[in-house]
A = this chain, B = another copy of it.
Amino acid sequence: MPREIDRRSARTRKALHQALLELMLRKGYEALSVQDIIDEADVGRSTFYAHYTSKEDLLRSGFHMLREELTEAQSASHARAEASRDDPLRFSAAMFEHAARYADHFRTMIGGRGGAVAENEIRLILSDMVRQELSSTLQDGTIPRDFVVQFVVGAFLTALNWWFERKPKLSPSEVDAMFRSLVLGGLAQMITKERRQAARPAAGRDND
């Protein structure tokens, strides 16, 4: 019995995944048909359906593999990083770096091209990571854990998207700094407290 998967299978699947990625980058996920995929991958129709039930299934399987890699890598880094227990956003820096390295992939998945499925999968993966981090650093309060987790994940995706769409020239650490500043400190730090009783925010005084 083939304990490992047949090489033919593996090759086909790899071709399909690659074709999907390429086409998503070119046309976007939603506008994509199975026909396009098998055409790009040079694979027969029935071959596709022998491996996956739909294009959504194909995409999901890709994320499934990615998820295993990431959780593995994270558990490893989790083991050796005991020092900064009071930082609930340990993941962000590494993730921004990762995103910069695989910019095409992330761009494809997160922007409008990614479709609802991709974004959802990403949310799930990130939610797990964030939940794990928050469990050790956050105290129980009036705000449910779930809510905080979703908040952090949403902010991260927002940051990533803004980065790619608006200021792709920024370095990962710069974006990370903004992200951390907003998520950790909130908006309060940016409000002009001195003007609360003043008449009008007329003269914008720059103080770096």
- Chain B, residue nearest A177 (CB): B142
Interface check A4, CB cutoff 8 A: no
Stretch of A16-24, A96-104, A161-169 that contacts chain B: A161-169
Contacts of A142 in B (CB 8 A): 178, 181, 199
Q: What's the least CB distance linking A60 to chain B, in Å?
A: 14
Beyond A150-B161, A188-B202, A202-B188, is A143–B183 a contact (Cβ under 8 Å)?
Answer: no
B-contacting 9-mer, from A35-43, A63-71, A190-198: A190-198
Inter-subunit contact B186/A183 (CB<8 Å): yes
Let me know if B162 and A188 touch, CB within 8 A: no
Interface residues of A (CB under 8 A from B): 30, 85-86, 88-89, 112, 115-116, 120, 136-144, 146-148, 150-155, 157-159, 161-162, 166-167, 178, 181-188, 190-193, 195-196, 198-199, 201-204, 206
